[in-house]
Amino acid sequence: MIKERKTIPYGRQEITEEDVRAVVETLQSDFLTQGPKIAEFEKRFAGYTGAKYAVAVSNGTAALHLAGLALNVQPGDKVITSPNTFAASANGFRYCGADIQFVDIDPDTYNLDFQKVKLLLEAHPKGTFRGIVAVDFAGYPVDLEKFKSLADEYGLFLVEDACHAPGGYFINSKKQQVSCGSGEYADLSVFSFHPVKHIAAGEGGMLTTNSLSLYEKLMRMRTHGITKSLEILRENHGGWYYEMQELGYNYRITDIQATLGMSQLERAEVGLSKRKEIAKRYDEAFSVGKIKTPCVAGEVSHAYHLYVIQTKDRKGLYDYLRTHQIFAQVHYIPVHLMPYYRNLGWKKGDCPVAEEYYEYCLSLPMYPTLTTEEQDFVIEKVLEFLSA
């Protein structure tokens, strides 16, 4: 009898007994939402990234929208981002009415191309652009020190979309490790706790910052713009009194999700080293042949949310792997070529590097519970296809 093989997805969450116990405990507590677990999760997450403040929200997209609101992005503001990302990196600012400016990617790191951003800024009068949203694509940390000095020169804000990169870091010019989300250079960093990301909470997101004023604004805006803070109340009628001073949203996370996120955060470093081991085994297996493996420059610690290869017959390989129950995935269809952004004037040829990359890229299975046997099977099938 042929043994039925389990499907192998490109990414998946791990839920342990401890996770289940922790969540059940919260379910049986007094608070399902707006209780103590949220603040505890924020404190621990801030500790993990090294940032002063963290604000937990309902998902990563809400975090990006709040980033735009907190930075006072207005209709027509030109915000620069990468086309090689999930649409939310652009959409969060588009919700504020921003005019999204896609700038092409670096052919090695697949992140926003620093030189191209610099050239774009130099080609326009100061004040033309409002900000930069840099994405740590696949977990490869952006050199935020470089982007920060450029942002300062042109009076721009700098947001890091670190959804792929919790635990990653780059080395700055002073030879220090700068963690993704540390608040050292970016005004705000954004994370997601969707199950396919490093830390799963069902749904969930987080912003980190070193700015007290941004932190306070985010805390108000995630719950309708409501405040009870005595220093800023215009009146005070008693203990029940609050004011809605700005138009905010309900972007709150629940205590249930915060508990799961916190329990997962405990294992984040273990998961990260497992991801690095998996990447190393893929790197070795594909060191010779017709595959381009991810760039591993010495100045970063890659967080390997994704393991992306590039190969000529990408569609053939994708289909072949599927016939063996291996569900590789493609990251990303360039955002500027989505019909919505095409309707705003973007077209093929605007970001040729990201477009060419898209023709060849494929994300192979990458998650901490991927077994050696499963990975060997993936490698075997990839090599089999390429040698056919």
Ligand X SMILES: *Cc1c(COP(=O)(O)O)cnc(C)c1O
Binding mask 53-82 toward ligand X (x if CB under 6 A, else -) reads ------xxx---------------------
Q: Which residue do the tokens 């072949």 mark?
A: 320
**Pairing verdict, β 8-9 and 326-327:** parallel
Task: Give the one residue of 167, 205, 334, 365 binding ligand X; rule: CB under 6 A.
Answer: 205
Q: Is 86 in the site for ligand X (CB under 6 A)?
A: yes
Amino acid symbol at 127? G
List the structure tokens of 29: 């507590």
Q: Is 192 in the site for ligand X (CB under 6 A)?
A: yes
SS3 state of residue 231: coil
User: Of the two residues 104 and 382, which places its CB atom closer to ligand X in the complex?
Assistant: 104
Q: How many residues does the chain have?
A: 388
Residue 84: burial class (beta carbons within 10 Å; 0-12, 13-18, 19+): buried
Output the smallest distance, CB 126 to ligand X, in A.
Answer: 29
Output the smallest distance, CB 91 to ligand X, in A.
Answer: 9
Position closest to ligand X via CB:
60
Task: Determine contact, residues 153/190, Cβ cutoff 8 Å.
Answer: no
User: Of the two residues 133 and 285, which places its CB atom closer to ligand X in the complex?
Assistant: 133
Closest alpha carbon to 83 in 350, 334, 332? 334
Task: Determine contact, residues 375/278, Cβ cutoff 8 Å.
Answer: yes
User: Of the two residues 69 and 291, which places its CB atom closer to ligand X in the complex?
Assistant: 69
CA 160 distance to own-chain centroid:
8
User: Of the two residues 148 and 194, which places its CB atom closer to ligand X in the complex?
Assistant: 194
Interface positions, 116-175, toward ligand X (CB under 6 A): 135, 161, 163-164
Q: Is 214 in the site for ligand X (CB under 6 A)?
A: no
Q: Which residues contact 29 (CB under 8 A, 6 or more apart)?
A: 35, 255
Task: Give the one residue of 65, 148, 194, 275 binding ligand X; rule: CB under 6 A.
Answer: 194
Residue 199: burial class (beta carbons within 10 Å; 0-12, 13-18, 19+): buried
Task: Determine contact, residues 69/96, Cβ cutoff 8 Å.
Answer: yes
Its sign, for the CA torsion 349, 289, 330, 205, is negative
User: Of the two residues 148 and 164, which places its CB atom closer to ligand X in the complex?
Assistant: 164
Output the smallest distance, CB 212 to ligand X, in A.
Answer: 25
Binding mask 277-316 toward ligand X (x if CB under 6 A, else -) reads ----------------------------------------
Q: Is 254 in the site for ligand X (CB under 6 A)?
A: no
Q: Segment contacting ligand X (CB under 6 A): 84-92, 232-240, 253-261, 295-303? A: 84-92
Task: Give the one residue of 46, 69, 88, 207 binding ligand X; rule: CB under 6 A.
Answer: 88
Within the chain, residue ranges assigned H as helices are 17-27, 36-49, 60-70, 88-94, 114-122, 144-153, 212-221, 255-265, 268-285, 314-323, 339-343, 352-360, 372-387
Output the smallest distance, CB 11 to ligand X, in A.
Answer: 10
User: Of the two residues 320 and 365, which places its CB atom closer to ligand X in the complex?
Assistant: 365
**Pairing verdict, β 157-161 and 169-171:** unpaired
Output the smallest distance, CB 173 to ligand X, in A.
Answer: 26
User: Of the two residues 59 and 227, which places its CB atom closer to ligand X in the complex?
Assistant: 59
Separation between Cα atoms, residue 134 and residue 153, nearest integer Å: 17
Output the smallest distance, CB 190 to ligand X, in A.
Answer: 7
User: Of the two residues 81 and 227, which places its CB atom closer to ligand X in the complex?
Assistant: 81
Task: Give the one residue of 85, 264, 301, 310 binding ligand X; rule: CB under 6 A.
Answer: 85
Q: Cis peptide leading into 332, omega within 30 of 0?
A: yes
User: Of the two residues 85 and 310, which places its CB atom closer to ligand X in the complex?
Assistant: 85
Q: Is 89 in the site for ligand X (CB under 6 A)?
A: yes
User: Of the two residues 61 and 210, which places its CB atom closer to ligand X in the complex?
Assistant: 61
Total binding residues toward ligand X, as defined by CB under 6 A: 14
Q: Which residues bind ligand X (CB under 6 A)?
A: 59-61, 85-86, 88-89, 135, 161, 163-164, 192, 194, 205
